[in-house]
A and B are shown apart, each in its own frame.
Chain A
Amino acid sequence: MENRDSDQDAILFEPLLKTGPGYWLLIFVLVCTVLWGGYAYVTQFRLGLGVTGLNRPVYWGFYITNFVFFVGISHAGTLISAILRLCQAEWRRPITRMAEAITVLVLFFGAGNILLDLGRPDRLLYMFIYGHLTSPLMWDCISITIYLIGSTTYLYVAMIPDLALLRDRITDWRQPLYRVLALGWSGSHEQEERLQTAIAILAIAVIPIAVSVHTVVSWVFAMTIQPMWHSSIFGPYFVVGAIYSGIAALMLTMILLRKIYHLEDYLKEIHFEYLGELLLAMCLLWFYFTFAEYLTAFYGHEPIEMRIFWAKVTGHYAPYFWTMVATDFVIPLAILCNRKTRKIPGIAVASISVCIGMWLERFTIVVPTLVNPRLPWARGSYAPSWVEISLFAAFIAGFILLYAIFIKLFPIISIWEVREGREQGVAEVTERLRGYLPGDGGIDQPAKAGS
Chain B
Amino acid sequence: MGQAMPRWGMVIDLDRCSGCRGCVVACKQENNIAPSTQEQAQSSRMISWMNVITVVDGDYPDAKLRLLPMLCQQCENPPCVRVCPVGATQKSSQGIVGQIYPRCIGCRYCASACPYQVKYFNWSPPSWPREFEQSLNPSVSVRPKGVIEKCTFCVQRLQRARDQAAFEGRKVRSEGEYVPACVESCPAKAMYFGDLDDHSTEVAHLVRDTRAFRVMDELGTEPNIIYLKEST
Question: Do the beta carbons of B147 and A126 come within 8 Å of each other?
Answer: no
Question: Do the beta carbons of A137 and B83 come within 8 Å of each other?
Answer: yes
Interface string of B7-42 (1 = CB under 8 A from A): 000000000000000000000000000000000000
Shortest B144–chain A CB gap in Å is 8
Q: Which of B79, B115, B116 has the most CB of A within 10 A?
A: B115
Question: Do the beta carbons of B113 and A374 come within 8 Å of each other?
Answer: no
Question: What 7 A-B pairs have minimum CB-CB distances, sorted nearest first?
Answer: A119-B106, A119-B146, A50-B123, A48-B145, A50-B124, A59-B108, A135-B85
Out of B45, B83, B104, B112, which one reaches A134, CB within 8 Å?
Answer: B83
Cβ of B122 within 8 Å of any chain A Cβ, yes or no, is yes
**Known A118-B107, A119-B105, A377-B53; further 14 A-B contacts with Cβ < 8 A:** A48-B122, A48-B123, A50-B123, A56-B121, A59-B121, A120-B144, A120-B147, A123-B104, A130-B86, A132-B85, A134-B82, A220-B109, A224-B79, A375-B117
Cβ of B43 within 8 Å of any chain A Cβ, yes or no, is yes
Question: Do the beta carbons of B87 and A132 come within 8 Å of each other?
Answer: yes
What is the interface of chain B mostly: helix, strand, loop, or mixed?
loop
A220: B residues at CB distance < 8 A: 109
9 contacts between A and B (CB under 8 A): A55-B45, A56-B45, A57-B44, A119-B107, A119-B108, A119-B121, A134-B83, A223-B82, A376-B55
Shortest B89–chain A CB gap in Å is 10
B residues 83-113 in Cβ contact with A at 8 Å = 83-88, 103-109, 111-113
What is the interface of chain A mostly: helix, strand, loop, or mixed?
loop
B113: A residues at CB distance < 8 A: 224-226
Closest A residue by C-beta to B221:
A225
Question: Do the beta carbons of B104 and A120 come within 8 Å of each other?
Answer: yes
Question: Do the beta carbons of B112 and A59 come within 8 Å of each other?
Answer: yes
Cβ of B216 within 8 Å of any chain A Cβ, yes or no, is yes
Interface size on A, residues (CB 8 A): 44
B55: A residues at CB distance < 8 A: 376-377
B residues 198-232 in Cβ contact with A at 8 Å = 216, 219
Interface size range of chain B in the complex: 35 or more
B83: A residues at CB distance < 8 A: 134-137, 223-224
B residues 142-156 in Cβ contact with A at 8 Å = 144-148
A59: B residues at CB distance < 8 A: 108, 111-112, 121
Interface residues in chain A, defined as those with a beta carbon under 8 Å from any beta carbon in chain B: 47-50, 54-57, 59-60, 114, 117-121, 123-124, 126-127, 129-132, 134-138, 141, 220, 223-226, 370, 373-378, 380-381
Expressed in whole angstroms, the Cα–Cα distance for A50 and B144 within the complex equals 13
Expressed in whole angstroms, the Cα–Cα distance for A135 and B115 within the complex equals 17
Expressed in whole angstroms, the Cα–Cα distance for A226 and B113 within the complex equals 7
Interface string of B123-150 (1 = CB under 8 A from A): 1110000000000000000001111100
Expressed in whole angstroms, the Cα–Cα distance for A12 and B108 within the complex equals 47
Out of B53, B120, B147, B216, which one reaches A56, CB within 8 Å?
Answer: B120
A47: B residues at CB distance < 8 A: 124
Question: Do the beta carbons of B109 and A119 come within 8 Å of each other?
Answer: no
Expressed in whole angstroms, the Cα–Cα distance for A126 and B100 within the complex equals 13
Question: Do the beta carbons of B124 and A48 come within 8 Å of each other?
Answer: yes
A141: B residues at CB distance < 8 A: 85
Expressed in whole angstroms, the Cα–Cα distance for A376 and B54 within the complex equals 11
B53: A residues at CB distance < 8 A: 377
Question: Do the beta carbons of B112 and A374 come within 8 Å of each other?
Answer: no
A119: B residues at CB distance < 8 A: 104-108, 121-122, 145-148
Question: Do the beta carbons of A117 and B123 come within 8 Å of each other?
Answer: no
